[in-house]
Amino acid sequence: MLWATAGVVTLGFLITLEIAARHYTGQPGPMTNQAREVIFAPKPGPLYGGLALMMVVLTWRERFIAAGAAIGIDAVFVLVRWAVDAETLDGHFFGNGALWVMLGYAVIAVTRRTGRERVLLLKAVGLGLLLVAGRKTGDTWLLITAKTRSEVLDPYLATADHALGNPSWLAGRILQATGPISTRLLDLVYAQLAVAAVVVALYQLRNVAAERRFPSHHLVRTFLVIGLLGPAIYMIFPVVGPIFAYGPGTSGTGGVQWAVADLWPDTLPPINTPHPVPYDAITPRNCMPSLHTAWATAIFIHSRKGPRILRFAGAFWLIATLSATLGFGYHYGVDLVAGVVFALTIEAALRSQERGWDRAGLQLVAYGAAVFAALLMSYRYLPMEMAGHPWVSGPLLILAMTSVIYGYVRTTKLWEPKAAPARQPELRPAPQSDQREAVTPAGVPAPGTTNPYS
For 278-331, the pLDDT digits (tens) are 998 889 999 999 999 999 999 999 999 899 999 999 999 999 999 999 999 999
Query: Could you give the CA distance from residue 261 to residue 46 in angstroms, rounded to a whole number?
Result: 37
% residues pLDDT > 90 (the chain)? 52
CB atoms within 10 A of CB 139: 18
Q: Does residue 446 or residue 109 have the better pLDDT? A: 109
Tell me the pLDDT of the chain averaged across its residues. 86
pLDDT at 429: 60
User: Packing angle between helix 308-327 and helix 291-302, nearest 10 degrees?
Assistant: 170
Q: What is the pLDDT of residue 217?
A: 87
Q: How confident is the model at residue 436 (pLDDT cuts 50, 70, 90)?
A: very low
Judge whether 14 and 133 are in contact, CB under 8 Å: yes
Residue 277, strand partner residues: 152
Q: 99 CB contacts (<8 Å, ≥6 apart)?
A: 37, 38, 42, 47, 132
Q: Name which residue leads in pLDDT, 391 or 254.
A: 391
Answer whether 374's CB lies under 8 Å from 386's CB. Answer: no
Q: For the CA atoms of 131, 134, 135, 137, what is the dihedral angle to 10 degrees?
A: 160
Summarize the confidence of residues 203-214 as an average pLDDT: 91
Q: How many CB atoms sit inside 10 A of residue 235's CB?
A: 13
Q: Which residues contact 434 (CB under 8 A, 6 or more apart)?
A: none
Residue 180, Cβ density class (10 Å: 0-12 exposed, 13-18 middle, ≥19 buried) = exposed
Q: What angle do CA 6, 10, 15 make, to 5 degrees?
A: 150
Rounded Cα gap, residues 144 and 62, in angstroms: 40
- Whether 342 and 294 have beta carbons less than 8 Å apart is answered as yes
**Per-residue pLDDT tens digits for 217-266:** 899 989 989 988 898 899 999 999 999 999 875 443 345 578 888 888 88
Query: pTM (2 decimals)?
Result: 0.85
Q: What angle do CA 281, 286, 290 make, to 5 degrees?
A: 170
The helix (H) or strand (E) run that includes residue 88 is: none
Residue 11, C-beta contacts closer than 8 angstroms, at least 6 positions apart: none
